[in-house]
Structures are given as C-alpha cells and as structure tokens.
Amino acid sequence: MIPLNIGLPQTNQLVQVSPDLYWGRLPLPFRLNHINLYIIDTDQGWVLIDAGIFGEPTEQYWQTLLSGFLSKKPIDKIIITHHHVDHIGFAKQLSDLTGAPCFTSKAEQAHGEFLFNLSPDQMSELIASNYTRYGLPESEIEFGRRDSQRYRRYVPALPEFHHFSLDDTINGCHSQWKCRIDSGHSSGQLSFINKDEKLFLPTDFLLPRISPNISADIRDPDKDVLGDYLTYLAEMSSMAAQIAIYPGHDWPFTHGNDRAISLIEHHNHRLTLLFTAAQERPISTSDAMDILFNRRFESHELFFASGEARAHLTHLVKQGKIKKQTDIINGNLIDMFTA
C-alpha cells in the first residue's frame, strides 16, 4: 500500500481527482471519525455515492454542497454502497432533499430492512440469543440488550430502493464505471471500477489502515462471510499495482494488491491462532475473543469483536478443520468449537 499524494478534502469541499470523480469527507461521531464520499459527474447530473450517517453535521454538509458546487447540475442518482449506518443513515433525507432516486444491491436492501424492521424487543432478543450462544458473560449479554437500538438511532428512515446489479455501469462524462458486488464486510456491497483511468472505489472492502470488520451475519452466524471475503481478497491480490484506490475511510492509495495480500495474511494468522487453541480444548466464541484480542469490549465494539471472532470460527468449520457442537452450560445453549 502506497498513499497517493493528494490533500484531504477540507470541510464542505470536494477534491476533483479525475475528470469525472470528486472526493468529499463527512464527520462521524465515532473513533473512526469520518467517511469518504464520492461523486461522479455524468451528462444526466451528479451521481452521489453514499449518504453519510443521520445527524445535524451530515445535513449541514449536504445543504452546503447542494446549494453551492453541486447546484449547477441536477442530482441524477444516490447510490448506497452498503447498509452500514455511516453509509445509509442519511439516504432517505438526502433523497427527499434532492428528489433523486436511491439505488443499492438487493442483498444490502434486504440486510438493511431486516435490521430496520425489527422492533426494539425483537432486536434485543436477537442480540441476546446470539451473545448467549457465543458464551459471552451475562454483563456483556445485558450490554447487547441495552445497545439494541443502535441501527435505528443512526438510520431513522430508509428510502425506497432501486437495484444496481453486477456489471451495471455509471456512464460518467468522460469514462465508464462498472459495478461489482461482493460479500464479506457486508452482504452485497457495491463498488465501482473505472478501467480506462485505472480508478477503483472499493468502499469498505479494501482500506489502507484498518482491517475491514468481518462479522458473522446476525441473521445466520453459520454463514461463511470470511470465506467470501478471502475469495474477494484473492482476486484483489492480482490487480495491477498502479490502480488508484479511493476507499470508504482514510486516504487513497496504490498497490492495493499488496494490501490484499497483507489482509489475507492477517486473517490466516487469526485462523491459525484459533485452530491451535481448538486443538487443545473446546473453545467458545467468547474464548476466541480472548485469544484474538486479549481484552474485552464495550459499546458497538463488542458487537464487532464478537462477530469477528465468530466469523473466523465459522470459516474453520467450513474448511473442515474444526467442528461445532452445542453444549448446555448453566442452562444455556452454547456453541463450542473443537478440532
């Protein structure tokens, strides 16, 4: 990974990075304190890629851009790459503000609507039952119960979605952007490749600094999301080094092939740690968290850390290296993994 020598967009400003492509940055109220947004210039108008999280700073950001630089053309489309709160949260309001239709993939729409449509009690119970099967201590299960409104807090409404499919394109004023759909960090994330100008917008699947969170699907923790992500990374490891990558967080970079290889190594190392432990004794997802992170978590980091641990265990099961069995411990059903 080699950072591109381009200055970060300042507040309420866009940086033009190719004849068609503009890059902007929105604040986030998390430790990861920003998200990158992209805008493609087309003959029909602007195509906005991702909306940001719901909240006052996001609204101010879009109001400033829409009444300023973006006012010279209509907004043609809003594309939401995936259902995570920092990308989808403001989509409905942005669609209302601009009158533009929203697009995502079928898989992302289904995942977002599933989380959005659960009642507070249903969400609470779903998180608690997953955490119980993970073998988490009661205090963490209780925390999950109380944190169950996180999705709705940052996504107060969802827009009506139209669908982007594999190989659909965005026709920019100067070049074509081809869509791809991948599973791993999310269920069916949209990303866009411009072959003519060697540009790639992988959103959250290929980041320069952070290892993208690969969490078990709350709807089905036995789904091998890490396997999907490793397949994606294997493909990315053979991409041309000079392709300029504009990610969903942090800074643009080249040598994405090297970054993909280091992420494969990162996950393989974690798989080896868990496989070695499961050869010695049966381990729960909670044990796997201790092995991988050597600390406990609060807040939404608990959701990501437990999901990440479970995704690695599930992948080892799919590889046939370990087996899952369900034990009754203190009256609770807990998934245990053994080699």
Q: Which is nearer to Zn ion, 36 or 286 (CB)?
A: 36
Which is closer to Zn ion, CB of 84 or CB of 92?
84
- What secondary structure, in 3-state letters, does 14-32 show? CEECCCCEEEEEEECCCCC
Q: Encode 302-313: b = buried (16+ Cβ within 10 Å), e = exposed.
A: bbebbbbbbbbb
* Residue 108 within binding range of Zn ion, rule CB under 5 A: no
**Torsion angle of the four alpha carbons 182, 187, 190, 196, in this order, in degrees rounded to the nearest 10:** -10
- Letters for 252-271 (x = contact with Zn ion by CB under 5 A, - = none) are --------------------
Residue 336 CB, nearest approach to Zn ion (Å): 30
- CA–CA dist 73, 43 (Å, integer): 9
Measured from the CB of residue 204, what is the shortest distance to Zn ion in angstroms?
4
- Pick the closer one to Zn ion by CB: 88 or 309: 88
Minimum CB distance to Zn ion smaller for 247 or for 282: 247
Task: Write down the least CB distance from residue 289 to Zn ion, Å.
Answer: 20
Shortest distance in whole angstroms from residue 186 CB to Zn ion: 6
Give the x-and-dash track for 59-88 against Zn ion (CB under 5 A): -------------------------x----
Taking the complex as a whole, the smallest distance from the CB of residue 33 to Zn ion amounts, in Å, to 15
- Strand order, beta sheet including 2-3: 2-3, 253-254, 244-247, 199-203, 189-194, 176-182, 169-171
Largest CA distance in the chain: 65
Question: Cβ closer to Zn ion: 20 or 204?
Answer: 204
Nearer to Zn ion, 87 or 133 (CB): 87
Half-sphere exposure at residue 32, Cβ-oriented, CA atoms within 13 angstroms: 18
Q: Rounded distance, CA 130 to CA 221, Å?
A: 8
- Give the integer Cα–Cα distance in Å for 263 and 255: 13
Tell me the site size for Zn ion, rule CB under 5 A.
Answer: 2
For Zn ion, what does the binding mask look like between residues 185 and 224, x meaning CB under 5 A?
-------------------x--------------------
Ordered DSSP codes for 146-211: HTTTHHHHH-S----EEE--TT-EEE-SS-EEEEEEE-SSSSSEEEEEETTTTEEEEETSS-SSSP
**Shortest Cβ 144–Zn ion spacing (Å):** 20
CB of 193 to Zn ion, least distance (A): 19
Instruction: Select 204 or 287, whichever has its Cβ closest to Zn ion.
Output: 204
* Beta carbons of 222 and 314 less than 8 angstroms apart: yes
Residue with smaller CB distance to Zn ion, 53 or 274: 53
Dihedral sign of CA atoms 258, 263, 267, 269 in order: positive
Beta carbon nearer to Zn ion, 186 or 314: 186
| Dihedral, 203, 207, 208, 210 alpha carbons, nearest 10 | 140
CB of 28 to Zn ion, least distance (A): 11
Q: How far is the CB of 83 from Zn ion (least distance, A)?
A: 8
Residues contributing to the site for Zn ion (CB under 5 A): 84, 204
